[in-house]
């Protein structure tokens, strides 16, 4: 596996790569990331992964400085997974003028769901992903469904900007007890880790109610939020939305997604389940 640290070197490598699949990450890799790599390997001649902890998508008081950096362990996992190139730029390489004056501004959805609690987050995501796409120039890019709102923003961005990149969604990786795999799971203490699957259980219960024919979205959302709050969670949201647009869902729609974000101790967890009925 080649480790590439500059834009010029990445572009030179890309010219010889043939059809290229790309997995952008912030490092601290787990099995969910490796599932993205596996999906990428089935799509192209070569696979490139990036590791970059993007300051632009962290809000004030969030965990940018504390975000785990595990470069050596990440490299071992990527080599074992058969990755051909790792793009590992520093901040000055990716943001040469330090301040990013030009940003990619998503539409109103950036201020809803997670965006309502993390102002500017999706602007930072869209901007860095655009930069990475311009540098790496992949044919295919793989993103996990766990970050469902992020996936929606990136797919819409690629469509609107006519980017010649196929976005491949990959199902959420889960632990045996249902907890969605996330780098932030490492912040959970043992007691919190045992409690954490409650989020997924509530989403499953809400899904089952929808599949049984319920259209009381507000009541189902409130019940799930109340169960989490009673167990000590601080709930940001539990919402039923249209799966294809993330707009507010209305009775009778067939393609839905249930999304949730809540804090357990100091750890913010997100999850979602698609519901097709």
The answer on whether 33 is annotated among ligand-binding residues is: yes
Rounded to the nearest 10 degrees, the angle between the axes of helix 7-14 and helix 121-136 is 50
Distances, alpha carbon 16 to alpha carbons 11, 13, 29, 42, 45, in Å: 9, 6, 27, 19, 11
Dihedral pair phi/psi, residue 72, rounded to 5°: -65, -45
202 carries a ligand binding annotation: no
Q: What is the DSSP string of 134-201?
A: HHH--SEEEEETTSHHHHHHHHHHHHHTT-S-EEEEEPPPB-TTSPBP-GGGGG--HHHHHHTTHHHH
Q: Is 46 annotated as a binding residue?
A: no
33 noted as active-site residue:
yes
Q: Is 115 assigned a ligand-binding role in the annotation?
A: no
Q: Give the whole-angstrom CA distance, residue 40 versus residue 74.
A: 17
- Catalytic-role residue among 33, 108, 152, 250: 33
15 annotated as ligand-binding:
no
Q: Annotation-wise, does 123 bind a ligand?
A: no
Say if residue 146 carries a ligand binding annotation.
yes
Query: Which token pair is 156?
Result: 């819409």
18 annotated as a binding-site residue: no
Q: Annotated binding residue at 100?
A: no
Q: Can you say which residues are annotated as belonging to the binding site for beta-alanine?
A: 57
- Which residues belong to the active site? 33
Q: Can you say which residues are annotated as belonging to the binding site?
A: 26-33, 57, 144-147, 150, 173, 181-184
Q: Can you say which residues are annotated as belonging to the binding site for ATP?
A: 26-33, 144-147, 173, 181-184
Q: Can you say which residues are annotated as belonging to the binding site for (R)-pantoate?
A: 57, 150
């Amino acid at each position: 596996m080649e480790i590439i640290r500059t834009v010029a070197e990445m572009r030179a490598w890309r010219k010889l790569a043939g059809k290229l699949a790309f997995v952008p990450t912030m490092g601290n890799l787990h099995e969910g990331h490796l599932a993205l790599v596996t999906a990428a390997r089935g799509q192209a001649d070569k696979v490139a992964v990036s590791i970059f902890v993007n300051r632009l998508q962290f809000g004030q008081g969030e965990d940018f400085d504390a975000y785990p950096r595990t470069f050596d362990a990440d490299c071992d996992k990527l080599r074992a997974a058969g990755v051909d190139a790792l793009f590992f730029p520093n901040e000055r390489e990716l943001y040469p003028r330090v301040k990013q004056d030009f940003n990619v501004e998503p539409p109103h959805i950036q201020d809803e769901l997670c965006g309502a609690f993390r102002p500017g987050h999706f602007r930072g995501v869209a901007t860095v992903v655009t930069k990475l796409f311009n540098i790496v120039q992949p044919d295919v890019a793989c993103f996990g469904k766990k970050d469902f709102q992020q996936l929606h923003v990136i797919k819409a961005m690629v469509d609107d900007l006519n980017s010649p990149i196929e976005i491949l969604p990959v199902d959420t990786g889960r632990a045996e007890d249902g907890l969605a795999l996330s780098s932030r799971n490492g912040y959970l203490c043992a007691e919190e880790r045992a409690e954490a699957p409650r989020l997924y259980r509530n989403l499953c219960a809400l899904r089952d109610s929808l599949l049984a024919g319920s259209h009381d979205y507000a009541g189902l959302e409130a019940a799930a939020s109340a169960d989490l709050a009673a167990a000590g969670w601080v709930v940001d949201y539990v919402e039923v939305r249209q799966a294809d647009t993330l707009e507010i869902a209305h009775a009778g729609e067939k393609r839905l997604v249930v999304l949730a974000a809540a804090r357990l101790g100091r750890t913010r967890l997100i999850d979602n389940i698609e519901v097709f009925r």
